[in-house]
Amino acid sequence: EIVMTQSPGTLSVSPGERVTLSCRTSQSVRTNLVWYQHIPGQAPRLLIYGASTRATGLPARFSGSGSGTDFTLTISSLQSEDFAVYYCQQDNSWPYTFGQGTKLEIK
């Protein structure tokens, strides 16, 4: 089973800042990496798939990059609605696994 490691666990940032979240996999997943956003009490939301393809309707301030074992999700200018927990998931090897999440909180 592929182990997903996200860092940091929590990130305190101010609106308007640029943030980069990291996801590492225990073995190569090529570009089969997905990012989700979860605001507590709401359904998780698909953000990025294929490591860098934005989901329909996702604002351009969100971008994903990486391949192999190292991936990043970048939010270029944080908006108030972006404070949430972000999860990565690999869809390369069965069973498909998730990271522990990175929480973005308001500084």
Partner 1 sequence: QVQLQESGPGLVKPSETLSLICTVSRGSISSSSHYWAWIRQPPGKGLEWIGSINHSGSTYYNPSLQSRVSISADTSNNQFSLKLNSVTAADTAVYYCATYGDYFVFVYWGRGTLVTVSS
- Of the candidate residues 43, 60, 80, 81, the single one contacting partner 1 (CB under 8 A): 43
- Taking the least distance from each CB to partner 1, the nearer of 36 and 71 is 36
CA distance 59 to 98: 23
Q: Characterize the bridge pairing of strands 33-38 and 85-90.
A: antiparallel
- Taking the least distance from each CB to partner 1, the nearer of 91 and 105 is 91
User: Does 19 sit near partner 1 (CB under 8 A)?
Assistant: no
User: Does 37 sit near partner 1 (CB under 8 A)?
Assistant: no
User: Does 12 sit near partner 1 (CB under 8 A)?
Assistant: no
- Of the candidate residues 21, 64, 87, 104, the single one contacting partner 1 (CB under 8 A): 87
Q: Nearest 5°: CA angle at 59, between 86 and 2?
A: 30
CB of 77 to partner 1, least distance (A): 26
> Is the backbone of residue 68 left (phi > 0), alpha (psi -120 to 50) or beta?
left
Which residues of this chain interact with partner 1, rule CB under 8 A? 4, 32, 34, 36, 41-46, 49, 55, 87, 89, 91, 95-101
